[in-house]
Chains A and B, each alone.
Chain A
Amino acid sequence: MVTIAIIHGPNLNMLGKREVGIYGGQTLDDVNRSIKEKADSLEVKTEYFQSNSESDIVSYLHQCNGRVDGIMINAGAFTHYSYSLRDAIASITVPVIEVHISNIYKREEFRHKSVIAPVCVGQICGFGTTGYLLALKSLLSESKYDLWPKQQEKNTKKRKFLVISGPNLNLLGDRNIAVYGQEHKLENIFGQLKDVAHNLDIEVEHFQFNHEGDIVDTLQKSTGNYDGIIINAGALAHYSYSLRSAIGTTLLPCIEVFLTNVHKREEFRHKSVISAVCLGAIGGFGAKSYLLALDSLESLTNIESKL
């Protein structure tokens, strides 16, 4: 049986009591309970660890090595400065996913930088405690687990999501394969996304544009025609304030995705100017980043479901 460790860093024992506008009203026990419920349904074993002490978390990470199959960590404020934690994650071979309840890019400047991001597989932030469920799915293989939900009954009007891929993503599978891989062509990613969406009775429309203006035009027409947006803006994410404004004016829930872990790459890619107007960001999981984004939008817009 696969075992996943969930690590909660400093002050997360105060969930439900502090800054509820940002973190919500759920307590840490509530969060762990909902992760366990999901994990049990997938027959995955979980273990939970919370500490306010950096050294305790470092020691626990060491203990996890070779014993668990994956780790999700919300390192709290340690995220932004703890090089000990960074080194501990780098020293183990277990895949580690970084999770944040809030969209750290909407908050104070010091929270925009994660020192652990470059040594994690990927980052999920902004989805409340649902982020942990997304992280759980990101760690599990789609071929072994039934990860994506299916619409049980049509209790919600048919939803339609707009999916936008930015410049150069038409070259996926051919360019820079060391970073992006060879197996994922954009049409395959979208094909898979469409299949999962179909099972959820969701319509998805996908566009790829190399021109910034085309993306802005499409976003401007999206309000009223779609229920949510998934955007992989490519390099535009790092500098296009036009895109930022266009997303902001749609009023639609928008999820930012990256195929790669941008924090492992060149410095200029670490900052996204659109993150602050998106509900959350998912990056580092390849094609699965799009599926996790679909999953999160489905959960948000479905009046009944919780992943």
Chain B
Amino acid sequence: MHRVFFGFEVRAPWEDEVLQGRKIEERYRHVTLAFLGNLSREKIEELLKQIPKPEMPLGPCAILDHTLLLPESHPRVMALHMEFLDERVLKFQKVLMQSLHRLDLGSDQAVWLPHVSLCRKPFSYELWQAHFVRLPCYLGSFHLYESVGELCYKPLWSYDVPPPFEEIEHRADIAYCVHGKDLQELYVHASMALAFQDPHFLTAWPCRPVLFSLEELVMALNEQIAKIDHLRGCPFKAVSFHGEVEACRQNLLKWDMIVDV
């Protein structure tokens, strides 16, 4: 039998220095969508044929916006709450649960609380809470995980979800290949990329300008940089006007963002 659950990998610029407790390694950090309990290999194979897949062209972004102690009554886990930037994951979780219920699987949850667990008891909550800053994150591949003990989670089955941005090599500055379905989404993903470098970039978040060109997108990002530099200092000088928005796979747009630091 395998103790299994469905979840997405979570990628974030983790700040673990003040995290004291039985830490879950970064590579195992995830958001659980549905816990299934102990299942046989045959049952799992049957199940995988019938569940819906997350048809997401890019990993959805979220903000890890506050700390959680779970369960509330007798806390055993320190976790971060995930606030998604859109409804896609919430909708997918509902569809997944409905599908599992039809198979008599998945525990009943009145309200799903999206979160990522960071460490288990014994832990030091106060120190962590005092140093907490909001973090950007995005979801990576969707997995059927097996909990193998010792805070390790092994994917038994995976469905790839491409990242919304990827860091690329640049000799002088920092650079990202940013993807999005339109200019607005490129802007959001570019902002998240910058927040991965400096989480304080979320200080002025959310900011959703209406954009009609790459130039306007760059200007909007630079306005954010100037605002944050004025408020508390910012490690970025500016985003370059360099480059073009190009069409790529699945009707997505792609832009190489170069950031002067």
To the question of whether A and B form a pair in one complex, the answer is no
- List residues of B whose CB falls within 8 A of some A CB: none
